[in-house]
Amino acid sequence: MPKPIALSVRAYQLLRQRILAGEVQPAEPLFEIHLAEQLGMSRTPVREALQSLARDGYLEELPGRGFAVPRRSLDDLRQFFELREVLEAAATRFASLRARPEEITQLDALCARYEDEPDLEAWNQIGASFHATIIDAARNARLAALLATLHDQIDLSRRSVIYAGPSWRETAVRDHRAICTAIAERDEAAAHAAATNHVRHSYQATLRAHQPEDFATQRMA
């Protein structure tokens, strides 16, 4: 019989889903007493969930005022993308060494769908599946956990940014194909370089959407 999920874990999952869905706005205060009523739980598991969400970067604690989704700055974005570059390039290099034949076939199929998909939401989902397949193929659970949290932080920071215009789309398609080719050829150096370029292109596109007039001075070093 499956072991019941602890209430604090359940509260964590529910609140995290709300945050990622954009149901909680940045700087909107969250109070454990109100959340406990909404979730039908006592305050203790909700308090533990809020503290865990703060440790994981989804919330910040406001002394005497509960918790809130933090407002992120351009400097926060820079730090997130620098870390993503390091971790994702490493995961892609490991995938080039460890990917199974069926995973390489799956990556190739996802690339083809990514190139042809006209719907933006579906296109983004295909891209997410592509990266998830690479992370699975890296065979490193700890690296996967770090990247999952990091991707959530980046998505939260640029939630209102629409950056998938024609220029970015063409670049992303080329990047994905270069990554797929490098993994298929078991070329770890090329895989690392292609993933690095892709993260940098994504960062530049995000900055361009945030502050187009300042883009030239906001590049990563």
23-35 mean pLDDT: 89
Tell which CATH classification among 3.40.50.620, 1.10.10.10, 1.10.3720.10, 3.40.50.800 matches the domain 7-68: 1.10.10.10
* pLDDT of 20: 82
Same fold, 7-68 and 74-217: no
188-196 mean pLDDT: 98
Residue 161 has pLDDT above 80, yes or no: no
- Count Cβ neighbours within 10 Å for each residue of 70-101 and write b for 16 or more, e otherwise: bebeeebbbebbebbbebbbbbbbbbbeebee
Mean pLDDT of the chain: 88
* pLDDT of 52: 93
Give the predicted TM-score (pTM) of the model.
0.75
Cβ contact 191:91 at 8 Å: no
* pLDDT of 210: 67
* pLDDT of 59: 92
Say which CATH class 74-217 falls into. Answer: mainly alpha
